[in-house]
Chain A
Amino acid sequence: NAGVMQNPRHLVRRRGQEARLRCSPMKGHSHVYWYRQLPEEGLKFMVYLQKENIIDESGMPKERFSAEFPKEGPSILRIQQVVRGDSAAYFCASQGRRAGAHNNEQFFGPGTRLTVL
């Protein structure tokens, strides 16, 4: 959905460098999900954040990966000391939520395609 913005769209890093991926949710949305899509595979859940809180990071690799969603500004997915296996498309999705309601639609951004040389 055009309302969710991700930047950069393409990112090239050498092994050992850091990658920072940004996601600006739709206006009024305070829930952000990050997914990773490896080549020829479906999307895999990584982490779910609300403003200033990590709710579920069960899909995040235990090392080198971190995510935040500060009170102000975009959500950041940070990958330290990147390796070739980190090459993938990283998508974020944002969601608004009505009180007491479940499963409101997630709107996906265009993704960041990370290439590690």
Chain B
Amino acid sequence: AQSVTQLGSHVSVSEGALVLLRCNYSSSVPPYLFWYVQYPNQGLQLLLKYTTGATLVKGINGFEAEFKKSETSFHLTKPSAHMSDAAEYFCAVSAPVSYDKVIFGPGTSLSVIP
């Protein structure tokens, strides 16, 4: 069974400050990990994903995440927040089995303060 937890349902940062959104997962098999962003009243957009290989993954809009197996974590970071980063962020996990049901975390709402 797989699950995802996201620490902090709401995170506020100042414009230009570091963004850190936390994600921990539980999986009985080596996981595939994802971060999605959702803007108000829109669908989900994939920011980045980890499948195999390099544990530091770079995504769109300057975001990156690092897979740490020992900590079962996949935290999302961005060095400098922009106002346009304000959105809901979902961490997700799936298993490389015959199909790819994605298990989502509860989400973290990011606010960027001018």
By a beta-carbon cutoff of 8 Å, the part of chain A in contact with chain B is 1, 4, 31, 33, 35, 41-45, 48, 55-56, 91, 93, 95, 102-106, 108-111, 113
Are A1 and B45 neighbours in the complex by a CB distance under 8 Å?
yes
Q: How far is the CB of B34 from chain A (nearest CB, A)?
A: 9
Q: How far is the CB of B40 from chain A (nearest CB, A)?
A: 11
Identify which of B12-20, B57-65, B102-110 touches chain A: B102-110
Are B43 and A48 neighbours in the complex by a CB distance under 8 Å?
no
Are B44 and A91 neighbours in the complex by a CB distance under 8 Å?
yes
A104 to B100, CA, bound (A): 8
By a beta-carbon cutoff of 8 Å, the part of chain B in contact with chain A is 32, 36, 41-46, 49, 51, 90, 94, 96-107
Where chain B touches its partner, the secondary structure class is loop
Given contacts A42-B90, A42-B105, A42-B107, contact A106 B100 (CB under 8 A): yes
Q: How far is the CB of B70 from chain A (nearest CB, A)?
A: 23
Are B107 and A105 neighbours in the complex by a CB distance under 8 Å?
no
Hey, which chain A residues are within 8 Å of B99, CB to CB? 31, 48, 55-56
Q: How far is the CB of B53 from chain A (nearest CB, A)?
A: 13
Q: How far is the CB of B1 from chain A (nearest CB, A)?
A: 12
A110 to B102, CA, bound (A): 17
Q: Can you show 5 pairs from A to B with CB atoms below 8 A apart? A: A41-B107, A42-B106, A45-B102, A91-B44, A113-B41
Q: Contacting A103 at CB < 8 Å: which of B43, B100, B104? A: B100
A82 to B102, CA, bound (A): 26
Q: How far is the CB of A66 from chain B (nearest CB, A)?
A: 19
